[in-house]
Amino acid sequence: MKYILLILTLQFAVAVEAQKKGELVEIADHFSFTEGPVADARGDIYFTDQPNNRIWKYSASGELIRFLEPSGRANGLAMDNDGWLVACADENNEIWRIHPETREIEVLVGTYAGKPLNGPNDLWISSSGNYYITDPYYQRSYWSRTSAELPEALYMYQQGKLLQVDSNFVRPNGIAASPDERKLYVADIGDNKTYVYDIAENGALHNKRLFCDRGSDGMTTDKKGNVYLTGDGVFVYTPQGALLRHIKVPVKWTANVCFGGKESEYLFITASEKIFKIYPDW
C-alpha cells in the first residue's frame, strides 16, 4: 500500500507561554476538529485535525508545523517505545506507525477475525509494548459501508496479534493508564461511564469496575494519578474517583488532553476548532 505524503512545514504565529498557573491559553484556532494529542520525549505535541486529514506538531519551543497530510483520517495518537507515532487511522480502519523524521508509514492491523475494525478511535501503549485500543463505530462520510461487522470493543495488540479483550460496552472511546501502569481506564461514552481495570504483568486485564458515572471522549492521567475526562470542558478526578475540579473550555466540545512541554508542565487540550494549554495549579 502506497501513500502520497504532502509534507508542509508552514509555521504559524502561536500564543505565548502561559504566565500564570491555572490560566487557559489558546494556542491556535484554524482547525476543523482537533483530537488525539500526545507528547514525545522532548515534550513536543502531536495532534490531529481529523476532518481535514492532517496531523500537526506543536514543539516545546512554540512552533506549529503541519506534520503529515494525508494522515489516514487519524484520530487518537500515541508514542511507541521506539519513538514512532502510532495513529488510529480510521479511513481504512487501521493502526499506523509513523516515523517522526521520514514519515514512513507501517500499517500494523486493520481487521479482526477476518472482519474490518469499526474505526479505531484511541489507544494507550504500555512500557512493555502492549497496545490497548478502543474501537467504537462512528459512521463516517468517507466510508462506503453503513454498519459494523464487529462489536464495539476494547482490544489489545501484543506481539503482532490483535486480541479482543472486552466487548461489553455501548461505545468505548477514551483510554489512559495510571502512572505506575497498574490500572487502565476506559470510558464508555455511549453509557456515560468510565471503568478501570487492573493490568497484570503479562498485560492481561482483570477486575473491571466502575470508576465514575461520567463518560469521556479522550482522556489522560497526571503524575499524581489524577484522571482527566473530556466533553463539556475537562473534569479532573482523583485516583479514588472523586471529582477534583472542572476546567471550563470556551468551545462546543472538548475532545482530548495530554501533558507535554519540556518538563511535562502543561496540560494540552484539543477542543473543537482550537487547541489550548494550561499550567495546572492543583
Once rounded to an integer, what is the mean pLDDT over residues 56-64?
96
Q: Running DSSP on this structure, what letter comes out for residue 248?
A: -
- Predicted pLDDT at 282: 87
Condensed to tens digits (0 to 9), the pLDDT of residues 68-100 reads 999 999 999 999 999 999 999 999 999 999 999
Q: Which residues contact 264 (CB under 8 A, 6 or more apart)?
A: 39, 43, 223
The mean predicted confidence, pLDDT, of the chain is 94
pLDDT digit string, tens, across residues 205-231: 999 999 999 999 999 999 999 999 999
Mean pLDDT of 46-61: 97
Q: What is the pLDDT of residues 12-26, one digit of tens each?
A: 444 444 448 899 999
Residue 247 has pLDDT above 70, yes or no: yes
Radius of gyration of the chain (CA): 17
Percent of the chain with pLDDT over 70: 93
- Find the angle CA(28)-CA(122)-CA(209) to the nearest 5 degrees: 125
CA angle 271/164/222 to nearest 5° reads 40
pLDDT category, 41, cuts 50, 70, 90?
very high
Q: What letter does residue 278 receive in the DSSP assignment?
A: E
Query: In the structure grid, which three cell numbers stand for residue 90, read together?
Result: 480510521
**Model confidence pLDDT, tens digit, residues 152-190:** 999 999 999 999 999 999 999 999 999 999 999 999 999
Q: Which domains does the chain have, with CATH numbers?
A: 39-224 (2.120.10.30)
Judge whether 186 and 194 are in contact, CB under 8 Å.
Answer: yes
Q: Tell me the three cell numbers of residue 257.
A: 488532553
Q: What pLDDT is stored for residue 106 in this prediction?
A: 98
Q: CB neighbours (10 Å) of residue 30?
A: 11
Does 6 have pLDDT greater than 80?
Answer: no
The tens digit of pLDDT for each residue in 103-129 reads: 999 999 999 999 999 999 999 999 999
Average pLDDT over residues 136-146: 96
Q: How far is CA 258 from the centre of its chain?
A: 8
As a whole number, mean pLDDT of residues 57-74 equals 97
